Amino acid sequence: MAMQTIPVDPFDLTIFGATGDLATRKILPGLFRRMRAGQMPKEARIIGAARTEMTRDDFRALVKTSICTACNPENVQKSDLKRFLNQIDYLKLDVFADTDWHRLKPMLRKDVVHAFYFSVGPGLFGRIARCLKEHNLAGDDARIVVEKPFGRDLASAKQLNTDLRSYFHERQIYRIDHYLGKETVQNLMAIRFANSLFEPLWNSHHIDHVQITVAESLSVEGRGTYYDKSGAMRDMVQNHMMQLLCLTAMEPPSKFEADAVRDEKLKVIRALEPVSTDDVVRGQYLGSGAQDDYKSHAENPNTVTESYVALRADISNWRWAGVPFYLRTGKRLRDRVSEIVVVFKHAPHSIFGFGAARGGRNVLTIRLQPDEGITLRVTIKDPGPGGMRLREVPLDMSFAEALSAEVDGMPDAYERLIMDVIRGNQTLFMRGDEVEAAWAWVDPLIDVWAADTKLPQSYDAGSQGPEDALHLLARDGRRWRRIGGDS
């Protein structure tokens, strides 16, 4: 079955920072794929804006190279590429030069959707928002797209919200968390709210605990000095992991609409108990040699920034009282894995007697990467004679296998979210109050660490993480699902 693609309205999308890493690796190739899928209309225009002095043809050549690098060359037809490049313009614009801003106005057309993507460092967000208004470039229907990081603590996030809201309404601000654009993350909502099977069990009566893992096998080499200013808590927990936690734990919204969904997510964040320092572990990876550990990559022998964090989160509401949500994320771990694991309670009584062994727990695993899909572990009878012995088997569904024809043309997270911006749909974007509430929850931990003399615990490259993270669950009588395959 071919995937249904509904073209969006004609638009002018201005990308600030169009020569940068994000724009050339994700945004522009993503837009190319949307054009090829028939979703980006031929009347759409992309205006690349950046500090670099270059001609439109130079920029088009850069975009061509980016697309050929990012997309499967077999899928890049010359005619598609030509058409896409024809829809692209370039403006040398230093956001601090007023004279440059004047040159943007004549490039924007009337009667199309106007969107402005801030693919630049966060220090420029406020300035760009102000210039767009002062130079009369963005009307009341224009949209601005803001990249992460959205602040580095509650105070800076509040300031950024104030700056942006001085010039734009909340309904015009699209704060990107690309995790929300992932197919499986949206599927999490479909699984919960489009099936009658799971939701009645989705509570403390039936669920023992939840594990959310975002593990990376790569180190921070090459961008260690940048990473060292943030660390795993700011880089992953406050945003991506918080979003996964919210979608797993939230109440059913009355509609799949932006504010209905975001209201429910906000309630989850506000119901989170403060995390005690006993319930959090931070780590730093070691390398195969002295030049290969986190400290060397960060170029800071005294750094106390964490490349790993694990914590226990508790949600104080009726649905989740007594059900811990264990979160862990880190660099240079055994494998690259993102998943949500919902571990159900044991059946209340075993009828099969001692010899059968107790049935295992049902475990629902929602895999975000690699191999997006869902696995439900169930207990069955071990086949063959010899009485009633039990064994656990996975009911496994890989999206790539089950939906291969459709998965091939499926938009990746960025391209899906950009199309939502053009459609004016904010459901998969974070609202300002959500971001602030998330910072309010992680800030106290970051503050404690800043004053703490205790160093993060070391862990070996390619391992499961620091020892203390294993104890975090072991002391509660539980254990992590192994990173890189297992139980």
Catalytic residue set: 240
Helix, strand, coil shares, percent, the chain, to 5: 40, 20, 40
Q: Looking at 9, 55, 96, 277, which residue binds ligand NAD (CB under 6 A)?
A: 96
The reply to whether 147 sits near ligand NAD by the rule CB under 6 A is yes
The reply to whether 22 sits near ligand NAD by the rule CB under 6 A is yes
Which of 462, 232, 467 is CA-nearest to residue 330? 232
CB of residue 330 to ligand NAD, shortest distance in Å: 18
**CA–CA distance, 348 with 264 (Å, rounded to integer):** 31
The reply to whether 239 sits near ligand NAD by the rule CB under 6 A is no
The reply to whether 138 sits near ligand NAD by the rule CB under 6 A is no
How many residues make contact with ligand NAD (CB under 6 A)? 22
The reply to whether 230 sits near ligand NAD by the rule CB under 6 A is no
Name the residue nearer to ligand NAD (CB basis): 94 or 263: 94
The reply to whether 126 sits near ligand NAD by the rule CB under 6 A is no
The reply to whether 121 sits near ligand NAD by the rule CB under 6 A is yes
Name the residue nearer to ligand NAD (CB basis): 120 or 157: 120
The reply to whether 129 sits near ligand NAD by the rule CB under 6 A is no
Q: Which of residues 347-366 bind ligand NAD (CB under 6 A)?
A: none
Q: 150 CB contacts (<8 Å, ≥6 apart)?
A: 122, 157, 160, 175, 239, 430, 435
Q: Looking at 44, 95, 269, 421, which residue binds ligand NAD (CB under 6 A)?
A: 95
Segment lying near ligand NAD (by CB under 6 A), choices 15-23, 58-66, 401-409, 457-465: 15-23
**CA–CA distance, 75 with 257 (Å, rounded to integer):** 34
Name the residue nearer to ligand NAD (CB basis): 98 or 141: 98
| Strand 308-313 with 325-330, pairing | antiparallel
Instruction: Give me the half-sphere count of Cα atoms (radius 13 Å) on the Cβ side of residue 161.
Output: 18
The reply to whether 130 sits near ligand NAD by the rule CB under 6 A is no
| Chain position whose Cβ is nearest to ligand NAD | 20
Segment lying near ligand NAD (by CB under 6 A), choices 146-154, 261-269, 286-294, 327-335: 146-154
Residue 40 DSSP one-character state:
S
CB of residue 27 to ligand NAD, shortest distance in Å: 9
Q: Which residue has the tokens 């205006």?
A: 47
Q: 445 CB contacts (<8 Å, ≥6 apart)?
A: 233, 275, 277, 280, 311
Segment lying near ligand NAD (by CB under 6 A), choices 36-44, 79-87, 116-124, 246-254: 116-124
Q: Kindly report the number of other CB atoms within 10 A of residue 31's CB atom.
A: 26
CB of residue 336 to ligand NAD, shortest distance in Å: 15
**CA–CA distance, 357 with 474 (Å, rounded to integer):** 22
Q: Looking at 19, 303, 365, 379, which residue binds ligand NAD (CB under 6 A)?
A: 19
Q: Give the x-and-dash track for 300-339 against ligand NAD (CB under 6 A).
A: ----------------------------------------
Question: 1 by DSSP, 3-state: which?
Answer: coil
The reply to whether 442 sits near ligand NAD by the rule CB under 6 A is no
**CA–CA distance, 336 with 370 (Å, rounded to integer):** 7
Which of 70, 101, 29, 452 is CA-nearest to residue 282? 452
The reply to whether 21 sits near ligand NAD by the rule CB under 6 A is yes
Q: Which residue has the tokens 């209905």?
A: 260
- 315 forms bridges with which residues in the sheet? 272
The reply to whether 226 sits near ligand NAD by the rule CB under 6 A is no
Name the residue nearer to ligand NAD (CB basis): 150 or 480: 150
DSSP string, 93-137: --TT-HHHHHTTGGGSPSSSEEEEEE-S-GGGHHHHHHHHHHTT-
8 Å CB contact between 16 and 116: yes
Q: Give the x-and-dash track for 40-69 against ligand NAD (CB under 6 A).
A: ----------xxx-----------------
CB of residue 258 to ligand NAD, shortest distance in Å: 22
The reply to whether 184 sits near ligand NAD by the rule CB under 6 A is no
Name the residue nearer to ligand NAD (CB basis): 120 or 374: 120
Question: 84 by DSSP, 3-state: which?
Answer: helix
CA 173, 177, 181: angle at the middle one, nearest 5? Answer: 105
Q: Looking at 31, 62, 120, 333, which residue binds ligand NAD (CB under 6 A)?
A: 120
CB of residue 341 to ligand NAD, shortest distance in Å: 25
Segment lying near ligand NAD (by CB under 6 A), choices 61-69, 92-100, 293-301, 368-376: 92-100
Q: 346 CB contacts (<8 Å, ≥6 apart)?
A: 358, 359, 361
Phi, psi (rounded to 5 degrees) for 410: -75, 135
Rule CB under 6 A: which residues touch ligand NAD?
A: 16-23, 50-52, 93-96, 119-122, 147-149
